[in-house]
Amino acid sequence: MHKEFVITATRSVRSYASRVVEYLVKFPSFSPLSDAINGVKILDTDRFADGEMEAVVNASIRGKDVVLFTSCARNEAGISVEEAKIELYHTVDALKRSQAGEIIIFEPFVSCSRSDRTARRSSVGLWVHLKILTSLGATHIVTYQLHSDKSKSMLDPTISAIDDVPALTLLKRYLCDAYIQSLTTLEQVVRPHWAFCSVDAGGEKLARDFANSFGAPLVVAHKQRDYSKANTIDSINILSAEPIEGKVLWIVDDMVDTAGSVESLLRALALHKPAEVNIIAVHAVFSPPAAERLNLLSREGLLHRLIVTDTVFHPSSALGENIRLEVVPSAELSAKIIRTMVTKSSMNKLLRTFDAAIYLNSPNLFNAFQEAPVPEAPTGEEQFPGS
């Protein structure tokens, strides 16, 4: 038996949290308390006349572990970054004052994760965010794909634990389910005709991880930045042990923000005449002018498809009709993470190295829910890129 726990959410991600609960209840004898106890909604947010905020816990949660879903990035409620953060901080304080047991913050995308270094005389946004959460009483923080490994060292493990779960496996599974589907295609199409490319030298680890998983070549883009200005690139050099011409390239990154880096990279790669170039990334931040840049790249034939997860909310119309956007859901994996934590089980299965050949030989290897839908494979010539 597991300890009784509650799942709730700030206003920014309530529908996402509901989807996670839908997966959790599929586990036998595993039904968490959702956003209401005995018909009483757990959390409310009140505003004073002068605009100040107050989070209110309406039901007794004394001694219960609480999993609080939140997002401070673009969200379904249209709440600004600043307001979402203040609401989160107030909510953690209210939960602590209500004598909750463990307070587990599940933030699929930490919006301030790029602010992780003191390159100038500047604040470090991620440190500020984590420091506030732990000071208020958060005992465990869960997220997907932080911008850098060193970010996890910002937390004192004697005060709060942090799990930075790689969401790359979601994307790799999607490629296998939607585009590869068989060992024959992996061996005859993917390995000789695909390549995985980093956005920059710092992203080589992510791209190499994909290349190793699929047994395909690696391409490294080395860009020179002007660090006195944000989101600026001086030049890009393409490093590859094999010719790029005629290959299907997959640019791998942890996030697409303004799309400035990928725009410069796609234009540099076009000179090498690849068959097509795709982008596969975890977080779809899509800050302006990302939509304009991506649409232009698509119209010019430089960008074929863009695959992301749903860790950041984005309406289907956000990028327009020119972009072939494919969104990989993450609620199932979030449910599995929660179940693992609540039952005090090992996370090794969720963190193990992905091998496309093994997965294609046993497609349900990582699927704990038989009812979970498999992404529909595109039809016709689009099914196997580069074939």
CA–CA dist 383, 315 (Å, integer): 25
CA–CA dist 1, 3 (Å, integer): 7
Check residue 161 and give left, alpha or beta (phi > 0: left; psi -120 to 50: alpha): beta
Quick one: pLDDT at residue 370? 37
The helix-helix angle for 81-97 and 125-136 (nearest 10°) equals 20
- Collect contacts of 145-148 with beta carbons under 8 A, ≥24 apart: 145/254, 145/255, 145/282, 145/283, 145/311, 146/110, 146/113, 146/116, 146/254, 147/113, 147/114, 147/116, 147/254, 147/255, 148/113, 148/116
Over residues 6-25, mean pLDDT: 91
Nearest Cα neighbor of 362 from 214, 188, 179, 176 is 176
CA–CA dist 208, 197 (Å, integer): 8
Give residue-wise pLDDT tens across range 307-326: 999 999 988 667 777 789 99
3-state helix, strand, coil in the chain (%, to 5): 35, 20, 45
Give residue-wise pLDDT tens across range 120-142: 788 999 999 999 999 999 999 99
- Which of 35-44, 90-99, 218-227, 244-253 is least confident? 35-44
Whole-Å CA distances, 98 to 58, 119, 346: 10, 40, 30
Q: What is the residue type of 379?
A: T
Q: Residue 240 burial by CB count (10 A; 0-12/13-18/19+): exposed, middle or buried?
A: middle
Give residue-wise pLDDT tens across range 177-201: 999 999 999 999 999 999 999 998 8
Reduced to 3 states (helix: H, G, I; strand: E, B; else coil), residue 287 is coil
Quick one: pLDDT at residue 380? 38
- Annotate 149-185 with DSSP letters as a single string: GGGGGGS-TTT-EEEEE--HHHHHHHHIIIII-SHHH
The helix-helix angle for 204-214 and 168-175 (nearest 10°) equals 40
CA angle (342, 347, 350) in 5-degree steps: 120
For residue 203, give every residue at least 6 positions away whose Cβ sits within 8 Å of its Cβ, in sequence order, or none. 252, 253, 254
Structure tokens at 207: 């791209």
pTM of the model: 0.88
Quick one: pLDDT at residue 200? 87
Reduced to 3 states (helix: H, G, I; strand: E, B; else coil), residue 220 is strand
Quick one: pLDDT at residue 5? 87
Give residue-wise pLDDT tens across range 249-272: 999 999 999 999 899 999 999 999
Quick one: pLDDT at residue 323? 87
Of the ranges 142-146, 361-365, 367-371, which is most confident? 142-146
Quick one: pLDDT at residue 33? 61
Q: Residue 26 burial by CB count (10 A; 0-12/13-18/19+): exposed, middle or buried?
A: middle
Domains, the chain, ordered by start: 5-165 (3.40.50.2020), 168-329+351-382 (3.40.50.2020)
Structure tokens at 1: 């038996």
